[in-house]
Amino acid sequence: MFRVNSVSVRYEQKNVVSDFSFHVDKGEIVSVIGPNGSGKSTLLKAMARNIPYHMGSVEFDGTDLKSMNSKQVARKMCMLSQRNEAPSDMTVIDLVSYGRYPHKKWFEKLNSEDMEIVHWVLEKTHLSLYKDRKVSSLSGGESQRAWIAMALAQKPKVLLLDEPTTYLDISHQHEVLELVRELNRDMEMTIIMVLHDLNQASFYSDRIVVVQAGEKVMAGTPNEVMTRDMIRHVYRMDAEIQHIPSEQKPRIHLLSTVR
Amino acid sequence: MNSKSRSRTIVFTTFLFMIAAGIIAVGLGSVHISVPEILKTIFSTSTTDQYYTIIWDIRLPRVLLALIIGANIAISGALLQAVMGNPLADPGLTGVTSGAAVCVLLIMLAAPEYTQFIPIAAFAGGVLAATIVYSLAWRRNGISPITIILSGVAVNALCGGVIGYLSIIYSDRLPSAVQWLNGSLAAKGNNALFMVLPYAVVGWILSFFAIRKVNIIRLGDQVASNLGENVNRIRIVLSLLAVFLAAISVAAIGMIGFVGLIVPHMARLLVGSDYKYMMPMSMALGALVLLLADTGGRTLFAPLEIPAGILMAVVGGPYFLYLMRRRTF
């Protein structure tokens, strides 16, 4: 449903992403991994049309994104960056309500149907009890959930998450990723996310795309991608890969830096 | 929900206060007029009332002008603060006001036969100043509070220089412009009122239609664009609207500083940062503040009259320092 055809993104005369192609099927969770500065966030932003790409094309259900207006895009997908800040006195329910605006004309008010969606989304993200709290008073994990809830209120087909766990502690990281998996299973939401942690990428993804220096190194299932060679080549680390029969996903144990 | 009905009540009360203060201010002056007398004269059809001329030709236009201009500048400040994502943005500090003033002064002194073009010239000057400030202050990840103030300083200094130069080469015509330069509402009468009113009403209507867009860009550029908004276009349109409101005010009564800075800040403290309440609150409060400044200026030291702009600067400067110290930006 999502197809990236040899996209290049240029920044200050340099290619940050070059000739990048991959595709995502409906209902998949796909993670993009790679070292810092490899261009993975840039790629995600280009896919969400937040920054322009100067070559190639991005197709959604066979339609070129460039031929849609920004509201049409907003109804199909939503991207969240690693850190978002709401005005300090905004409540959770107000924040989530903004997700309905792409479906409204500029003078239209939210109706009861919109509020139903908002409440349903709050339920889904386990935030119903927090709806009148200020976003700024929530913990990191709760606030990330509130932003995901806003994105869900947009009713997108695809959710793009740029390092959704970076600023969270371990338990909140899992809380957010469990929510992502739940959304994927219960709502058939397609998820594309940038992750840093290899084990999280392995555990939560159907497929993984590996990026290095703006180019695709490989793509495939966690079992195909998570190899000692890949980790040595891309991250310059020695690692041991453990395949546990009861789990279908490999576990990665990083050992030492390659000299 | 509770805080929303509270905000609504505060906004409503402030509007009532504003109207009451307006009526009382009409009565203040060398000839004191009681409130019942004022109401009687305003609502009667006869033109032979004792106070008819004082009220209709002098006091009421001045009070209305103060209310309208105060509302304009406050809304302009509120819009600029949202657009620049920066609570220190205000038409005065960013140089919009002095940019407009240079163009107005140019017409007043160098081409007095073209006074009908003053509002357009003010708008052009404001847009020019705003463009310069934007291009100086813009960084890849937005506008920082420091660069906006620094570029404002630069633009203000430049405009100050031009104003100084104009006042030297046209020193013979200067006295007529001094009152205006200091932001005075004295002797304005119905002409200024009817010049500014239609523009102001248009500006207010557009501002109220813009409230949702303002709220959306406050979520940050990236979120706004993910919500399907064209962030740059919203920014440009809202900036033009803010400049427009500030410029017509400059055209009518000259430079009045700090209203655009202080009032949105007070409004935010009172009703929160949701522009659905913050915008009407700024409007009512701005009107009230400028009315107080003007009425205070003409009554406190009577028969001496202090221009409202000077009174605002005396009160506003310290408030600005207080804001800087509190680091609320």
A132 chain-B contacts, CB cut-off 8 A:
1
Q: What is the pLDDT of residues B256-306, one digit of tens each?
A: 888 998 899 889 988 988 999 999 999 999 999 999 999 998 888 878 888
Q: Output b/e per residue, B262-279; b: 16+ Cβ within 10 A.
A: bbbbbbbebbbbbbbbbb
Token digits for B249?
A: 């005010």
d(CA A150, CA A98): 7
B209 chain-A contacts, CB cut-off 8 A:
106-107
Does residue A100 surpass a pLDDT of 60? yes
A107 chain-B contacts, CB cut-off 8 A:
209
- What is the model's pLDDT at position A202? 92
Q: Could you tell me the pLDDT band of residue B144, with boundaries at 50, 70 and 90?
A: low
- What is the model's pLDDT at position B276? 92
Token digits for B31?
A: 């000839």
Q: Could you tell me the pLDDT band of residue B143, with boundaries at 50, 70 and 90?
A: low
Of residues A180, A103, A175, A190, the one with CA closest to residue B227: A103
d(CA B46, CA B43): 9
B215 chain-A contacts, CB cut-off 8 A:
98
- In B, minimum Cα distance to A51 occurs at B222
Residue bearing the bigger pLDDT, A96 or A259: A96
Q: Which residues of B lie inside 8 Å of A (Cβ-Cβ)?
A: 1, 209, 212-213, 215-216, 218-220, 222-223, 225-230, 272-274
B19 by Cβ neighbours in 10 Å (0-12 / 13-18 / 19+) ranks as: middle
Q: Do A98 and B213 touch (CB under 8 A)?
A: no
Q: CB atoms < 10 A from the CB of B191, how many?
A: 10
- In A, minimum Cα distance to B224 occurs at A98
d(CA A207, CA A2): 14
Does residue B326 surpass a pLDDT of 80? no
A240: three-class secondary structure by DSSP: strand
CA distance A79 to chain B (A): 6
Q: Do B274 and A70 touch (CB under 8 A)?
A: no
- What is the model's pLDDT at position B301? 83
Q: Do A90 and B213 touch (CB under 8 A)?
A: no
Q: Could you tell me the pLDDT band of residue B329, with boundaries at 50, 70 and 90?
A: very low
**Chain position carrying tokens 């430049």:** B158
- What is the model's pLDDT at position B42? 82
- Among A78, A79, A101, beta carbon nearest to B216: A101
The separation between CA A202 and the C-alpha centre of its own chain, rounded to angstroms, equals 15
Q: Do A70 and B230 touch (CB under 8 A)?
A: yes
**Chain position carrying tokens 């906004």:** B11
Q: What is the pLDDT of residues B48-94, one digit of tens each?
A: 777 888 888 888 999 999 999 999 999 999 999 998 887 778 888 88
Q: Could you tell me the pLDDT band of residue B215, with boundaries at 50, 70 and 90?
A: very high
Q: Which residues 6+ apart lie within 8 Å of B233 measured at CB?
A: none
CA distance A139 to chain B (A): 18
- In B, minimum Cα distance to A98 occurs at B216
- Among B219, B222, B272, beta carbon nearest to A98: B219
Average pLDDT estimate for A87-109? 87
- What is the model's pLDDT at position B140? 62
- What is the model's pLDDT at position B2? 66
CA distance A218 to chain B (A): 29
Does residue B137 surpass a pLDDT of 90? no
B227 chain-A contacts, CB cut-off 8 A:
74, 98-99, 101-102, 154
A98 chain-B contacts, CB cut-off 8 A:
215-216, 219, 227
- Among A72, A81, A102, beta carbon nearest to B222: A81
Q: Quick one: what percent of chain B has pLDDT higher than 70?
A: 96
d(CA A232, CA B323): 54
Q: Which residues 6+ apart lie within 8 Å of A180 measured at CB?
A: A29, A148, A159, A161, A164, A191, A193, A204
Average pLDDT estimate for A198-211? 92
Q: Do B229 and A70 touch (CB under 8 A)?
A: yes
A92 chain-B contacts, CB cut-off 8 A:
none
- Among B1, B226, B272, beta carbon nearest to A79: B226
- What is the model's pLDDT at position A245? 79
Of residues B21, B78, B94, the one with CA closest to residue B289: B21
- What is the model's pLDDT at position B263? 92
Q: Could you tell me the pLDDT band of residue B35, with boundaries at 50, 70 and 90?
A: confident
Q: Do B227 and A154 touch (CB under 8 A)?
A: yes
d(CA B177, CA B251): 12
CA distance A94 to chain B (A): 10
d(CA A181, CA A1): 19
Q: Do B226 and A98 touch (CB under 8 A)?
A: no
Q: Do B212 and A50 touch (CB under 8 A)?
A: no
- In A, minimum Cα distance to B225 occurs at A50
B218 chain-A contacts, CB cut-off 8 A:
87
- Among A48, A70, A87, beta carbon nearest to B273: A87
Q: Which residues of A lie inside 8 Å of B (Cβ-Cβ)?
A: 48-50, 69-75, 78-81, 84-90, 94-95, 98-99, 101-102, 106-107, 132, 150-151, 154
Residue bearing the bigger pLDDT, B177 or B99: B99
Q: Do A72 and B228 touch (CB under 8 A)?
A: yes
CA distance A170 to chain B (A): 26
- In A, minimum Cα distance to B1 occurs at A132
- How far CA B29 is from CA of A35, B25, B59, B88, in Å, comes to 74, 8, 9, 35
Report phi then psi at B219, rounded to 5.
-80, -5
- What is the model's pLDDT at position A192? 94
- What is the model's pLDDT at position B36? 86
- What is the model's pLDDT at position B123? 92
